[in-house]
Structure formats: structure tokens, C-alpha cells
Chain A
Amino acid sequence: SFSLAVQSACFVGLTCQLLDVWMEPIDLSTPVDIRVPFTSLQTVKAFLETEDIPYSIMIMDLQVMLDEEQDQMLSARAAAPRTTDDYDYSNYHAIADIYSFQDMLVAENPNLVSKIVIGQSYQGRPLNVLKFSTGGTNRPGIWLDTGIHSREWVTQASGTWFAKKIVTDYGRDAALTAILDKMDIFLEIVTNPDGYYYTHNSNRMWRKTRKPNPGSSCVGTDPNRNWDAGFGEPGSSDSPCSETYRGPEAHSESEVKSIVDFVKSHGNLKAFVSIHSYSQMILYPYGYTSTPCKDQSELHDLAMKAITDLASLYGTSYRYGSIINTIYQASGTTVDWTYNQGIKYSYTFELRDTGRYGFILPANQILPTAKETWLALMAIMEHTKDNTN
């Protein structure tokens, strides 16, 4: 055992103080971690090999790692952006940074952007929606949301880019200007903030909300199974431990209820796009039933235009169709509810990629993803504008 080895190492003249033990011996099956100064390296290796103690190298050169970490910390501190022009859109950000971004964007564009707090998450975080409006009273609106499933990081990152894109293009891009002169755009970037925080600090693969479930040790409800459309039908789970747990009842999650209340009180939304990753798809209702929605033909054709425009930028290939045909039966989904509320242009997007990286998409793909997705969104928004009085 290792503790014996350490003792006998001392006897053969290895100075014990030179071994900086990071993980003490606990039991026979748990490894011991030690930091070995360079000057002792050969001696320690020879000793371990002679004593037939298996070892593996976790970190080749600790100093290199410390130097890199120091660089990162310095550059992170130095680069806390003071304007949305300084913000690094090609990286993933902690929730606090995205909230700061939202406030900066509003401050820089007071005549175009405002922030609406539509509610609070389970843990009390604000549910922020950016409203892009050039005036009017309760103009017809377009809703976009990203990050309802917290592990789908490319979506929150893309949402941040979309926000900046809108303020940049208004007054410069004819198509976007025409849309905003007639309609308002609502963008909720961090739709599941508790989950997003959790993916940064505890579990990168967390999907659901963070509300505990009474009587269960499992936490969270799938916010995309919690809507009152086919709620409880096949395509969601009744187990709190499941990633597709529908929740105790429809709209039980404040993250969902807040949007429901907003949509109902607004009363004039014409398009609703809920953005997820991954799989590279544009999907329209329904997920809970194989009965085609009554606007299937138009939604199908519009989806085809959207994916064609998307592909025009980098050749990225998307599939499209109804949720239930293209991906799986899913009940209680966002866009099935919004469609049934009369918001005809209701779509779910699944962004890059198709499984190679999956949820952990490299940051260098954020900008290409956001840019190509924007073309699909523009296709949908333009069609909505052209078909709205």
C-alpha cells in the first residue's frame, strides 16, 4: 500500500518533505496524488517502478498550467466589457456576464431596447426579456427564446449575438428595419437561469429547472414538457428523476408560467421561435400528436425556405418537419402550446451540431452558428411580417 511505500521511501533516503501529497492515502483502492518537484522526479519514478507501484501522470508540468491560469485570470479581469462592442460574442459566458450585457445593450440603445422582467426563476433569478421596438402600442410581436434547456450553451450564446445583431442592423439592413418598423421583437436569452448557473458550477449536462420534487431526491422539471398542450400524454415522463419529467402539473415551473402569462397578456404575438441544440433541425407543431396541424403546408414550406437560407452561409445542412415525425413524440412542448394559442408561426430550432460535439460545441463555432441561424430567423420573421396586418 502507498502509505507503507512512503515509509520505506523515507528509509531509503528519499526526503519525505519533498513529496507534496495532494490526496492523502485513504484506502487501498483510492489513488494517492502527489506533486513531485522536478529535482526529485527521476528518483521518485525509479522508486515507484522498483516497488512495482503503478502510477500515472495527471499533470506533466504544473508550472505551465499555473502560468496559463494566471494569464486567463488576468485577461478575464482586463476584458470585462464596458460596452456591447467589447463583449466577446465568440465565447461562452457566465450568467452574470449575460445579465450585464443585457443592461448595457439597453443603456446604449434606449430608444430601441428595453428590458422586461416577466417573472422569477425558482431560485429567484430574474427572467429577463429584451424588447426591441420602434414605437406603436402593442404592435404585433415576434418572440425568440434561447437556453430553456440549460446545457444547450450555443443557444444562449447565439441569443446574445442576435440581440446585438438587431441593434446593429436596425437602420442599416432594409429587411430587419422593415420588420421592426411594423412589429416588435421579444428575446429571452437565459430562459432557464437556475439551470444555466448549475451547468457552470456543478453539472455541465444539466437540462431541467432546479426546482426540487417533493418526495423525491431528484430535482427539476423539463421545461419543454411542462406546457399545457397534450400535457401528460406519451412523450414526457411522470418520473421526477427523468430528464423529460413533465412536472406535477402544466405550467408548474415559474420559468414556463412567466412566458405563458406574458404571451396571454400581450395577446398579439404572431411568431414564436424556441431555440435548442443539438441536431440541426427546424421543427413545427405538433409533437404530442401525429394529426397534422392545420397550417402544416405553409409551415413546411417556410421551414424549407429557412433551412435553405441557413445553408447558404456555410453549407450547414438542416432537416425539417413536424416534431413528431422528425425527432420523436414529445408532449407538453412550448411550440405546441403557442401554436394552439393562435401563434401560427411557431417553430422549434435545434442548432449545431449533429452529435460529434453535441452539447459541448467548441466556442469557435458560436459565431458561425449564430450567423447562419440568423438567416433562418430572418426568413421566418419576414414571412410573418408579410402575412400580418
Chain B
Amino acid sequence: MTTGVLNPSHYPARRAATVVQHYLNTRYGSPYRWIFLSKVHSGSAEDMAEMRKYQLELTMQEMISNVSGQCSAELLFPGGEGQSAPQVQASCEGLLQSNPTAQEEAFYQQHRASNNMVSGSNIPDSYGHMEPSMKPFWHLGGVASSCIMLRESNESTLYNMAQVANFTQLETEKDQLRFNYHVLLHEMISQEIIHWKLLVTWSPEQGVKVLQTELQPKCHDCEAPPNTTN
């Protein structure tokens, strides 16, 4: 494990920075706010008792408004055998300048009444295309995926959401929009496509919450998990 000053071009800093991206999306993401890592400026890693601690200076970009901001972050990857999620603290300047409140509110009001449930599939499609009306659901899927990606991340993973396979709106409950999502995550080191089903809620006030997650079997034409010996 690399310790000390990290080369911003190399993968240890990059993986940790992506975890910060997932964290920021779980905290601040919405159908109209989706944050991506833009650049790693500097970083360092140190071994602490049973843990690995990273410090990073980053630029993050919000993809809908294109606003960028500088972030300082600290991460703790737990060591040992537990599968617990990394802990992240981050403070950003300027990143959240965009004010999507009006769009979020309009979207929320449009979809909270229960007589017109929305659904969609293959977002984006094979050609990278999606209907404009599907875009906020794509963003929402990305933000919800960030919850899982944050939870599943360690120093040997790098996650991105590859596609929203499908989503279906459910009845609004307790003023939260509710959706079943089936998302495909791409894990870069293993190159695997990992299917998850999520139960997601969102409202402008409460933000995105993932209530249930269910890992799907890898594919229908192969049953053995990746680490089966032949």
C-alpha cells in the first residue's frame, strides 16, 4: 500500500478521490445535482492502527450546472476483516453554488401525485441516448448508486454507474417519491458489471435515501461467482 505523498496521476489517489465523489453525491445529490471528480491536486496516505487514512485536495464538478469547486477531504478505510464502509469528511468551496431548488421542486410536484407513475429502461440506451424526460431519473439513479458505491468501496475498487437498467415509480409515501431501481455498476479493477436493485426515496427536503439494496446474480447464462475454481 502506498504511503506518504501520493502521485495525483496514479491510482491510489484516484480511487480514494472517487470515494469522495460518491460521498458527496449521497449527501448533496438529487435529480438535478450530480457531482463528479474533475481533478486530483494532491494527496497523502498513512497507516493508522487498523486503518488507512487519506487526505486529498480535489476539484469536483457538478454536471448539470457545470460549476466546479475545490474540496478538501479526509477518508478512513477500515482495515481488518469487517466489510464496513469508508468514512469520509469533505468540505468544498463553491461546488454547491448552483441552486437547483426550483427544478427540484417542480419535478417533485410533478411526480408526487400518484395517478401517473413513471418508469423507464436502458438509461442511457446502447448508443448513449436518453429522452430528455428521463435525465433526472438517470441523475437520481446515479446518486442512489453512489450510496452503494460508497458502501462497497475500498482501496482496491473503483466504481462508476454504467447504466440504469430500469426504474419504476411506486406510490408516494410520507411525502417521499419512491422508486425501484435496477442499476448496473462498473467496477474498474475487476472489470465486472454488478447488478443491484434499490428501493430509493427522494424529496427536496430529505434528499436521496436508499432503503433497500439487493445484489443481483451476475448473469443468466453463467451461474458460478467470479472466484469459483475450475
CB within 8 Å of B: which residues of A? 45, 49, 54-58, 91-92, 153, 199-200, 203-205, 207, 213, 215-219, 222, 237-244, 279, 317, 319-321, 325-328, 354-365
Contact A241 B9, beta carbon cutoff 8 Å: no
**A-side binding surface: helix, strand, loop or mixed?**
loop
Contact A357 B128, beta carbon cutoff 8 Å: yes
Contact B226 A239, beta carbon cutoff 8 Å: yes
Q: State whether the Cβ of B177 lies closer than 8 Å to any Cβ in chain A.
A: no
Residue pairs across A and B with Cβ atoms less than 8 A apart, 17 shown, are: A56-B169, A57-B117, A216-B222, A218-B221, A219-B221, A237-B190, A239-B226, A240-B230, A241-B222, A242-B192, A321-B7, A326-B10, A327-B188, A357-B124, A358-B161, A359-B186, A360-B126
Q: State whether the Cβ of B51 lies closer than 8 Å to any Cβ in chain A.
A: no
Contact B124 A242, beta carbon cutoff 8 Å: no
Chain A proximity of B42: nearest CB distance (Å): 14
Contact B189 A319, beta carbon cutoff 8 Å: no
Q: State whether the Cβ of B163 lies closer than 8 Å to any Cβ in chain A.
A: yes
Contact A55 B117, beta carbon cutoff 8 Å: yes
Q: What's the Cα separation between A319 and B38 when bound, in Å? A: 12
Instruction: Point out the residue from B9, B36, B118 that lies within 8 Å of A355, measured CB to CB.
Output: B36
The 9 lowest CB-CB distance pairs between A and B, nearest first, are: A362-B128, A355-B160, A243-B191, A218-B222, A56-B117, A242-B226, A319-B9, A205-B193, A204-B126
Q: What's the Cα separation between A207 and B160 when bound, in Å? A: 16
A325 CB contacts on chain B under 8 angstroms: 7, 9-11
A243 CB contacts on chain B under 8 angstroms: 190-193, 226
Chain B proximity of A203: nearest CB distance (Å): 8
Contact B124 A217, beta carbon cutoff 8 Å: no
Contact A239 B227, beta carbon cutoff 8 Å: yes
Chain A proximity of B220: nearest CB distance (Å): 10
Chain A proximity of B69: nearest CB distance (Å): 17
Contact B160 A358, beta carbon cutoff 8 Å: yes
Chain B proximity of A96: nearest CB distance (Å): 16
Assuming A56-B118, A56-B119, A222-B191, is B222 touching A358 (CB within 8 A)? no
Nearest A residue to B63 via CB reads: A356
Assuming A45-B115, A218-B224, A359-B162, is B190 touching A327 (CB within 8 A)? no
Instruction: Point out the residue from B9, B18, B128 that lies within 8 Å of A365, measured CB to CB.
Output: B128
Interface string of B209-230 (1 = CB under 8 A from A): 0000000001101111111111
Q: What's the Cα separation between A359 and B162 when bound, in Å? A: 7
Q: What's the Cα separation between A244 and B63 when bound, in Å? A: 31
A354 CB contacts on chain B under 8 angstroms: 36-37
Interface string of B114-144 (1 = CB under 8 A from A): 0111110000111111000000000000000
Chain B proximity of A221: nearest CB distance (Å): 13
B128 CB contacts on chain A under 8 angstroms: 357, 360-365
Contact A360 B10, beta carbon cutoff 8 Å: no
Instruction: Point out the residue from A217, A317, A362 that lies within 8 Å of B129, measured CB to CB.
Output: A362
Given known contacts A219-B222, A325-B10, A362-B128, what 16 new A-B pairs fall within 8 Å (CB)? A54-B170, A56-B169, A205-B163, A215-B230, A239-B224, A241-B222, A242-B192, A242-B226, A243-B226, A279-B188, A325-B11, A326-B9, A354-B36, A356-B63, A358-B186, A360-B124
B7 CB contacts on chain A under 8 angstroms: 321, 325
A222 CB contacts on chain B under 8 angstroms: 191
Q: What's the Cα separation between A358 and B171 when bound, in Å? A: 32
Within 8 A of A (CB), among B85-121: 115-119
Q: What's the Cα separation between A204 and B230 when bound, in Å? A: 26
Instruction: Point out the residue from B192, B221, B229 that lies within 8 Å of A217, measured CB to CB.
Output: B221
Contact A57 B230, beta carbon cutoff 8 Å: no
Contact B229 A326, beta carbon cutoff 8 Å: no
Assuming A57-B119, A317-B39, is B9 touching A362 (CB within 8 A)? no
Q: State whether the Cβ of B184 lies closer than 8 Å to any Cβ in chain A.
A: yes
Q: What's the Cα separation between A217 and B217 when bound, in Å? A: 14
Chain B proximity of A60: nearest CB distance (Å): 9
Chain A proximity of B131: nearest CB distance (Å): 10
Instruction: Point out the residue from A92, A215, A241, A358 that lies within 8 Å of B127, measured CB to CB.
Output: A92
Chain A proximity of B14: nearest CB distance (Å): 8
Select the residue from B119, B186, B191 with max chain A CB neighbours within 10 A: B191
Q: What's the Cα separation between A363 and B129 when bound, in Å? A: 8
A365 CB contacts on chain B under 8 angstroms: 128
Chain B proximity of A301: nearest CB distance (Å): 14
Assuming A57-B117, A328-B189, is B228 touching A241 (CB within 8 A)? yes
Nearest B residue to A318 via CB reads: B9
Q: What's the Cα separation between A327 and B170 when bound, in Å? A: 40
Q: What's the Cα separation between A252 and B191 when bound, in Å? A: 21
Q: What's the Cα separation between A116 and B90 when bound, in Å? A: 55
Contact A241 B124, beta carbon cutoff 8 Å: no
Assuming A56-B168, A92-B127, A217-B222, is B163 touching A360 (CB within 8 A)? yes
Contact A360 B224, beta carbon cutoff 8 Å: no
A317 CB contacts on chain B under 8 angstroms: 39
Q: What's the Cα separation between A219 and B222 when bound, in Å? A: 8
Contact B226 A217, beta carbon cutoff 8 Å: no
Chain A proximity of B222: nearest CB distance (Å): 4
A200 CB contacts on chain B under 8 angstroms: 126
Chain B proximity of A326: nearest CB distance (Å): 6
Chain A proximity of B136: nearest CB distance (Å): 15
Q: What's the Cα separation between A364 and B169 when bound, in Å? A: 30
